[in-house]
Structure 1
């Protein structure tokens, strides 16, 4: 029988306010300075605003290669359009999953709502899959199991939780949970000892062991096969992400993430000479 080993906090990152796209105000929590400890999670942007002027300019047409972008809009709406011809929108509690692979152009518009709340995650692609065909998929409300727990509830955005299946990632395994905890409650999760596990406190504070994790903080955790979350005085909403670390070199330039500087230079050269897209484009 495997000995129980509790995961502990290795690092806490609160991020910094920045402006991206055409003028979208956000908090960038993970970036190219956190690649090693948070492998294979690359970027994490947090959106939390009651002022539409801070985000309705959106993200005009831009490229990606070598990654997957996973947007979770808990409150609000996001409208997607890409070079494959996909046009789609996600709304309260839904997920937009885009595999950039060999290259894609897309734009994201964020219409005004009372309170925008959500995150965008960049998940690295393994070297063998960097040039995979690009793909878009949205995970709608009907495809997201909502599981009652003694502490509150868990929304299964991707992967699996115990016997409950959700959307399955094609390249890297990803368990992605939106955990809602009532005040003064505890949740213990069994975790794959060989997985990389990170958390992000979207709303409220929690404790892991003796560490208090403030709202809007990302943490990476030590190895282990169990994790205990303790909530404090107010409701908390915690995003749990578990995947497999790649331990591969990362060459990151803006919206493109490859393994070598030569691959990165080639990608930007192809953007310049209009040979970036490897799949038929229908973008207008």
Structure 2
């Protein structure tokens, strides 16, 4: 007798969010010439608080990624690197080291400061993934750094009708994610949808949220979102969540949401603080070798 539980049904929403704006992203490069698409740019930081940046890197050309991201500093926020394809080795000034492989996550809280590198551990084949920057509240910006490497098998999953949700942070349909944060309450889901499949996610109306499609097409409420596009979701009073429906070829997408901090943002490259004086202090500490 088959004792496998039937797939869960999506939650019912009464007022799903509409798409406020579609973002195509900016082609750019970072590190030692790694080519990527920057979807969440600095001009969107206030609108998508507490999220500061989102990069999508994806190529089969080793020349676009082989230089990697040599030693560089961070202070004042968290980075979440999620690998879809390829292998990336990371090391930092505190002696931490790990290997990112398809489906794995590296969650780093820079806190008062680290110097780290992220270098490809391959010379051919596809390299693809996301890096998201999540702000820290002012009270936590100078905390001790923290790291967690989350193996592919350690990312919790929820199964629905034609839907698999990998729960990197937050929770969906009773499944708790790999990481939780009290101040920003991030939700980070990697969604795999069969053709025509529907996924719903309850969300507080005041949380900022966006969807990025990286395979196929999605209908978000009644708006079509194509591959490599980001849909910013409207914070409509009374809205109760997100409704997604995959196109004819199915879809893969990330859904990200969080509680805005509503704090001042002062940024200078890899340092994100609340005041310009704190930025000056970060630069001076880096120059004096106090981040290592």
Question: TM-score under structure 2 normalisation?
Answer: 0.89
Partner of 1:131: 142
Q: In structure 2, what is the equivalent of residue 265 of structure 1?
A: 280
Residue in structure 1 matched with residue 196 of structure 2 by the alignment: 184
| 1:162 maps onto 2:177 in alignment | no
Moved more, 215-224 or 115-124: 215-224
Please state whether the residue corresponding to 2:280 is helix, strand or coil: helix
Residue pair 1:153, 1:181 contacting (<8 A) in 2 also: yes
Counterpart Cα distance in 2 of 1:92 and 1:149:
22
Say which of 218, 243, 247 aligns to 2:258: 243
Task: Deviation per CA, 1:27-69: give whole Å up to 9, x if none.
Answer: 1111211111111111101011111111011000000001100
Task: Show CA shifts across 1:213-237 (max 9, x none).
Answer: 1211122212321211122121211
The answer on whether the counterparts of 1:63 and 1:255 sit within 8 Å (CA) in structure 2 is: yes
Q: Distance in 2 between matches of 1:148 and 1:271?
A: 45
Shift of 1:192: 2.7
Report the RMSD for the aligned CA atoms in angstroms: 1.7
Q: Within 5 A, what are the aligned runs for 1:207-218?
A: 207-218=219-230
Structure 1's consecutive aligned runs of 4 or more residues displaced over 6 angstroms after TM superposition are none
Q: How many residues align?
A: 276
Q: CA deviation at 1:196?
A: 1.9
Which sections of structure 1, spanning at least 5 residues, go unmatched? none
1:1-284 superposed matches below 5 A: 4-112=14-122, 113-170=124-181, 172-223=184-235, 224-275=239-290, 277=291, 281=292
Higher mean displacement: 63-72 or 173-182: 173-182
C-alpha separation in 2, matches of 1:121 and 1:206: 21
Contact 2:197 2:250 in 1 (8 A): no
Q: Normalising by structure 1, what TM-score?
A: 0.92
For residues 158-202 of structure 1, what are the alpha-carbon distances to aligned partners after superposition, in whole Å with 9 as ceiling and x for unaligned?
Answer: 222122122223453222110011122222222233322221112
Separation of aligned partners in 1, 2:231 and 2:264:
22
